[in-house]
């Protein structure tokens, strides 16, 4: 206990910095930085792909059939959804696992980032993957009329497996959300003020 006028002495754990091994382990989170920078490069590649597909759509607007236009637009939506997935992983992952971005006062802070944690990020990623899979499945279904013909792009088995895989994505997302929901009351009761 300190006397009046004396500076209080912090507890021993707060006086010195981290010991070398914990400091090394905690500092190893920065090894993920090149991974997030690489995802930013991948984001740039998707921007180029989007612009290329958009230009293709503009040039073919008068000669494409409605189905061809729909396929190109679905491709554009697919690129945007993958890009959104990349942003969630880059921003959310960096904020959760590497370091704070300190965006609390920034006017452009995404709404979802204010309450992001590993659980929320998993659910958002699962939903984004389902959205991307849905776009691919819809694109496949547009070709369903050609099934069984020699010129068919997809086979019946291929369509079936794509639908099964999409269903597994949906079930996985439901499972992740259910596990998070079931574990939440336990967490809340332990951390209630």
Quote the pLDDT of residue 115. 66
pLDDT greater than 60 at residue 10: no
Q: Label residue 155 by pLDDT band (50, 70, 90).
A: confident
Q: Distance from first CA to last CA of the chain, Å, rounded?
A: 27
pLDDT per residue over 173-192, tens digit each?
899 888 888 877 655 555 55
pLDDT per residue over 73-95, tens digit each?
988 998 998 898 888 888 888 88
Q: Between the CA of residue 5 and those of 1, 8, 11, what are the distances in Å?
A: 12, 9, 18
**33-38: long-range contacts at Cβ-Cβ below 8 A with a sequence spacing of 24 or more?**
33/98, 36/90, 36/93, 36/94, 36/98
pLDDT per residue over 35-71, tens digit each?
999 999 999 999 999 999 999 999 998 998 888 888 8
């Amino acid at each position: 206990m300190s006397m009046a006028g004396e500076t209080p002495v912090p507890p021993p754990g707060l006086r010195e910095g981290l010991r070398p091994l914990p400091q090394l382990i905690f500092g190893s989170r920065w090894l993920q930085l090149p991974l997030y920078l690489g995802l930013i490069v991948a984001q740039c590649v998707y921007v180029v792909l989007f612009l290329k597909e958009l230009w293709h759509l503009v040039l073919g607007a008068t000669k494409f059939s409605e189905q061809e236009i729909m396929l190109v637009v679905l491709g554009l939506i697919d690129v945007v959804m993958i890009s959104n997935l990349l942003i969630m992983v880059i921003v959310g992952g960096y904020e959760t696992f590497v370091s704070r971005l300190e965006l609390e006062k920034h006017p452009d802070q995404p709404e979802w980032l204010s309450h992001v944690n590993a659980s929320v990020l998993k659910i958002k990623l699962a939903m984004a993957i389902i959205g991307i899979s849905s776009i691919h499945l819809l694109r496949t279904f547009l070709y369903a009329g050609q099934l069984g013909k020699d010129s068919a792009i997809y086979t019946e088995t291929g369509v079936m497996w794509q639908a099964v895989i999409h269903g597994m994505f949906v079930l996985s997302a439901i499972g992740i959300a259910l596990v998070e929901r079931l574990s939440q009351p336990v967490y809340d009761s332990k951390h209630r003020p």
